[in-house]
Amino acid sequence: MHHPTLSPGRRALLAAAVVAAATAVPLPANATAVPTGDRQQQYAAAAAEFGVPTDVLLGVSYLESRWDSNAGTPSTSGGYGPMHLTDARHVAALPVAGHHDTDTDTGTGTGTGTEDPRGDDSRTALAPAPRPADPAPSAAALQTVDAAAALTGAAPDSLRTDVGVNIRGGAALLASYQRELGAPVGAGTDPATWYGAVARYAGADTADAAAAFADEVFTTIGTGESRTTDDGARITLPARTIRPERSWLDRLGLRRLARPDGLECPRTISCEWIPAPYEAFGDGDYGNHDLSDRPARQKVEYIVIHDTEGSWATTLRLVQDPTYLSWHYTLRSVDGHVAQHVQTKDVAWHAGNWYVNAKAVGLEHEGFAAQGTWYTEAMYRASAKLVRHLALRLGVPLDRQHIIGHDNVPGTVAANVRGMHWDTGPYWDWTHYFTLLHAPRLDTGTPATGLVRIDPDFATNQPAFVGCVTAGVPCAPRGSSAVVLRSAPAADAPLVNDIALRPDGTPNTMEVSDHGARASAGQTYALAGRQGDWTAIWYLGQRAWFHNPASAPTASWTVGVVATPKPGRATVPVYGRAYPEQAAYPAGVPYQAISPLQYTLPAGQRYAVGEVLPGEYYRASTFDGSSPGDWTVIRGKNRYAQIQFGHRIMYVDLADVQLLPSSVGAPR
């Protein structure tokens, strides 16, 4: 995330929640308790009890949670259980820790996060004002647990934590919505007539968002799904073609959004234009983004995935402040609705690195990098549709070298590395996200091909992180995209050291915000050795070991290109930006120094190459483009290789390294 001053925690999600339960509808006279046991049977029994077609109940639940229980912890919009019953008041009362107010890479809690979201040395560092208080959220979207309690007689705590009770609550809500629309209720009713009730279940405040949610539910029913949940239940939704009766949506009376010309969203998602201001506000300063003409002026190379560390409403207020930061899109948790703020041709201030900002599109997802929350399937799907649309239009490859988290963006210079942000954190499901992106995947490798793609099973990979809610306290066990890296092939070996985060050489930690000793799903590294159930990769100038047993692998083999120092070079410098040489700058334009980071790439080590890039600097330092060289891209003769050097991407000068097929010189 981009907010150095955001979040005193989950209270920022829903702190002002003063909400009323939805209108209660009495239980049917023949209501009975749902039997415990087989999860599939729990869905069938709840559907029969409340008169909901089973495939409708399963489809709604899948789009909310993929049928996962998430260990009774809330989603980023305060939803619980496989039916995502929301409880804003309960979430607002939970103890929290504000991770993005800390030295974010180390979790030290000092309140000194220092990332300048612009990341441009040519301007004074941006210091945003304190964020405003959260406004009261919508009752319908964020307090459905009360309505479910009234409908079922179950206690709110049971609805939050007991999976069977939660499923009953969701079924009861769907049936009540169907009745209020005057639509037929009964397990044998035509699922097509449930379109309006499904749309209302989204909790959306516009017809577009409600319809997008319902369309995705019925698409899921049409394709079918089958998976094992995070708590080991096997559930199947058989494929069934249904032509939903969309006219039921009109009875919800929701406002319809305008889709102005220039709105850069696919038609299959709900999207609106909420512009970020481009305004001068005195003393030569302006906000909150820069004008450009991409991709004609400069190629877009990256799409950066963030989380907001605050609520949807607060995030929208911030992006409309000309003295604050900017990003291109915000996505809402409860239904996947999207707001666009900056045209993709222009440069938003979000990633803390001007080189990346100038070549990136930034997406903010409502939620928190830790604090025990999870991301809804509705938001994952809307995000994947948007990113695929943008990537195909802008020519951005669908891989982890170009679709990156904010936590993968490097500091610009050595002094900035420690203060860089760490969202979306270890609980973003990169593997599932890339499946939704329909990203190509090269799986033709072997150990001899020399590259390792991190590939843990998200549900069962549960590193023992600490500090999600309270510093030093173990986080609730949950699936993760991250694998932990150790200094030797043993479970009790110290973690590796990130010298920029811990200059004294001590090991990094299991604090959830401390990513200096972990790799993430989809990232590709050069193989550095194997021993028993352990695999080593080259990482920040050292061998880093992770557990990778053949019986439950956490990585796969692939093939590609690696960078290694040219013969005769003991080490080569590593950079956080790929800027041109001084001779390339025209008269009057200050030189942006090519400044190495703390790290070096030693001889004998190899790092996976994601891209070869020209040395470029986009000059944009004034509101009206009046400064010498403004609104131009300065290009030199330097070229750089982008490498996966640690958890973050970094750059090496192509003149310092040789690029080789990954199989050449790979360990045997």
Phi, psi of 433 (to 5 degrees): -60, -45
In the three-class reduction of DSSP (H, G, I as helix; E, B as strand; rest coil), residue 532 is classed as coil
- For 163-197, the pLDDT digits (tens) are 999 999 999 999 999 999 999 999 899 999 999 99
Cβ contact 469:568 at 8 Å:
no
Rounded CA gap, 356 and 622, in Å? 19
Whole-number Å distance between alpha carbons of 212 and 204? 10
Pairing of strands 555-558, 561-565: unpaired
User: Where is 649: in which H helix or E strand?
Assistant: strand 649-653
Residues 6 or more apart whose CB falls under 8 angstroms from that of 512 comprise 99, 107, 369, 370, 425, 426, 465, 466, 467, 468, 475
Q: In the beta sheet, which residues pair with residue 416?
A: none
What are the strands, taking DSSP E only, across 197-313? 225-228, 234-237, 271-273, 279-280, 286-287, 289-290, 302-307
Round the average pLDDT of the chain to a whole number and report it: 89
**Residue 28 three-state SS:** coil
φ, ψ of residue 485 to 5 degrees: the values are -110, 130
Pairwise CA distance, residues 228 & 556, whole Å: 21
Mean pLDDT computed over 99-115: 42
Pick from 435, 460, 436: which is nearest to 384 by CA? Answer: 436
Cβ partners under 8 Å of residue 656, min gap 6: 565, 566, 569, 572, 573
Is the predicted pLDDT of residue 17 greater than 70, yes or no? no
- Enumerate residues 6+ apart whose C-beta is below 8 A from 629: 585, 586, 588, 589, 619
Window from 30-44, 70-84, 201-215, 326-340 with minimum mean pLDDT: 30-44
- 125-140 core/surface letters (b: 16 or more CB in 10 A; e: else): ebebeebeebeebbbb
CATH number of the domain located at residue range(s) 31-85+143-252 in this protein? 1.10.530
Those residues with Cβ within 8 angstroms of residue 198's Cβ, 6 or more apart along the chain or in another chain? 56, 59, 60, 174, 213, 214, 217, 218
Tokens representing 552 are 């439950």
Could you tell me the pLDDT band of residue 103, with boundaries at 50, 70 and 90? Answer: very low
Calpha distance 21→143 (Å, rounded): 6
Question: Is this prediction's pTM over 0.85?
Answer: yes
Helix residue ranges, H only, 334-477:
354-357, 377-394, 430-436
Q: What is the pLDDT of residues 452-482, one digit of tens each?
A: 999 999 999 999 999 988 889 999 888 999 9
Per-residue pLDDT at 33? 38
User: Got the DSSP string for 578-644?
Assistant: -PPPGGGSPTTSPP----EEEEEEETT--EEEEEEEEEEEEE--SSSS-STTTTEEEEEEEEEEEEE
Q: Look at residue 100 and tell me whether its pLDDT is greater than 80.
A: no
Closest CA to 96 of 20, 14, 167: 14
**Fold (topology level) of 1-29+88-138+267-440:** Lysozyme-like (3.40.80)
To the nearest 5 percent, what fractions of the chain are helix, strand and coil? Answer: 25, 20, 55
Please determine, for residue 108, whether its predicted confidence score (pLDDT) is greater than 50. Answer: no
Q: Where are the chain's structural domains?
A: 1-29+88-138+267-440, 31-85+143-252, 443-559, 562-661
Radius of gyration in angstroms for the set of CA atoms belonging to the chain, rounded to a whole number: 25
